Amino acid sequence: MISFMNVFGIWIAAFFTISIFSFLYKDNPFYKLSEQIFVGLSAAYWLVYIIYSIMMPNLFTKLIEDFSGNAILLIPAGLGLMMLMRLHPKTQWLSRYPISIMIGTTAGISMLRYMKSDILEQVTATMINPFSAPDAAGVVGNLLLIIGTVTGVYFFYFSKKQEGIFQIPSKIGIWFLMVSFGATFGYTVMARVSLLIGRLEFLLRDWLHIIT
């Protein structure tokens, strides 16, 4: 037997789904209500989630159970407290230090990560013998891969005025980019349609029981 809370939950979910869909017509009080509840609820949810799933197990519990063994955690805890100093005008300047550490560390780590994944691996994957493919289609595919990569990188070369002969690889590069954007667009739209189907299924099956 379906409990009252289950039915109530389905009706609430259906109400909010339709309220959000009503935005397709125009902004209205139902959409506003749903939007405000969504924003407020999610903010509160994440606050609780961060406290109980991140701060408690990673900081407080470890410090309480074995303080000396986890003393290193006092550094991020201290940096976190320095961030909170923003709330007090006279100590606001302290928050700049954790921000600087965060940005500096991110830049350093990202440099190595992107150098490896976005440059070295891409370069290696493009260094192929285009004529080693078993058939003509494969050869054309390999050539397109090489030309597309080289001209695509050249499009982002900012130090040279793109005119005359230097305009040609750049133009080819942007064509390759636009073709890939078109393909991605179609692919992603299909994925979004499946999300819409999921919502419609909920409305028609779980709520209205029109389909099975």
Partner 1 sequence: MKAGLLIFLIFISWGLYANSFTAMDSPWDDGKAIILNWKLSPMTRNVQIQRITDSENIVTVLNTTLPEGEFVDSALEVNHEHHYRLIAQFDEDTLSLETTATTREQWFYMRKLGFLILLVIVCIAIIYYIQSARRGKEFYIRRIAGLDSMEEAIGRATEKGRPILYVPGISDLDDIQTIASLTILSHLAERSAEYNTELIVPCRFSMVLSAAKEVVKEAYIKAGRPDAYKAENIFYLTDDQFGYVAGIDGIMLREKPAANFFMGSFYAESLILAETGFATGAIQTAGTAQAHQLPFFVVSCDYTLIGEELFAASAYLSKDPQQLGSLKGHDFGKLMVIILIIVGVILEIFGISVLKDFIAGASS
Dihedral of CA atoms 149, 150, 156, 158 in degrees, nearest 10, equals: 170
Contact between 141 and 133 under an 8 Å Cβ cutoff? The reply is yes
Length of the chain: 212
CA distances 53 to 29, 40, 47, 143, Å, are: 35, 20, 10, 50
The residue (of 4 and 156) whose beta carbon lies closer to partner 1 is 156
Shortest reach from residue 71's CB to partner 1, in Å: 24
Q: What minimum distance in Å lies between the beta carbon of 50 and partner 1? A: 8
**Given 14, 15, 162, 202, the residue binding partner 1 (CB under 8 A):** 162
> Rg of the Cα trace of the chain?
27
Site size for partner 1, by CB under 8 A? Answer: 63
Q: Closer to partner 1 by CB, 11 or 181: give it.
A: 181
SS3 helix, strand, coil % of the chain, rounded to 5?
85, 0, 15
Residues 138-157 that bind partner 1 (CB under 8 A): 146, 149-150, 153-154, 156-157
Task: Using alpha carbons only, give the angle 81, 85, 87 rounded to the nearest 5 degrees.
Answer: 130
Letters for 94-133 (x = contact with partner 1 by CB under 8 A, - = none) are -xx--x--xx--xx--x-x-xxx--xxx-xx-xxxxxxx-
- When the beta carbons of 56 and 211 are compared against partner 1, the nearer one is 56
Position among 192, 194, 198, 212 found at the interface with partner 1 (CB under 8 A): 192
74 vs 103, beta carbon nearer partner 1: 103
**Closest distance of CB 86 from partner 1, Å:** 6
Q: Under rule CB under 8 A, which residues in 13-52 are in contact with partner 1?
A: 20, 23, 27, 32, 34-36, 38-43, 45-46, 50
| Burial profile 35-50: b = 16 or more Cβ within 10 angstroms, e = fewer | eeeeeeeeeeeeeeee
Q: Which long-range contacts (CB under 8 A, 24 or more apart) does 170-173 make?
A: 172/147, 173/148
Residue the block writes with tokens 């054309």: 140
Q: Give me the residues that bind partner 1 (CB under 8 A), please.
A: 20, 23, 27, 32, 34-36, 38-43, 45-46, 50, 83, 86, 95-96, 99, 102-103, 106-107, 110, 112, 114-116, 119-121, 123-124, 126-132, 146, 149-150, 153-154, 156-162, 177-178, 180-182, 184-185, 188, 192
